[in-house]
Amino acid sequence: MKVSMKVSVALTAREWQLYSSATGSAGAARKLNTAASKALNEAHKLYAETKDAGKAISAAWKIWGAKSNELSSFGASDSEPRWMFDDLILRLFCAPNGLKN
């Protein structure tokens, strides 16, 4: 049996807790969404291949973290957006319908 899924993240600058009053924050949120979607889908794929959640989660953080650092002028590398991404990872790996169950 093969199970596949695709994660698509669509959060606003306010939901990411970026500096939402900064010019360009909506575009920064879209870039974080794209990076988060890519990171979570890559994590899912890697986990499916290796069954190594730690390796998959580390890969996700590497992808998203690079974009977060790039967008640091919007607050993307602050703790709040990192907590949001961590929550997305937890939902993927630990939620009742997540990968681990």
pLDDT of residue 101: 39
Question: pLDDT tens digit string along 14-34?
Answer: 999 999 788 999 999 999 999
pLDDT of residue 56: 94
Residue 9 lies in a domain: no
Residue 92 lies in a domain: yes
Number of domains composing the chain = 1
Residue 98 has pLDDT above 70, yes or no: no
Q: Over the Cα atoms of the chain, what is R_g?
A: 14
Q: Is the dihedral of CA 37, 39, 43, 49 positive or negative?
A: positive
Which residues span the domain enclosing 82? Answer: 51-101
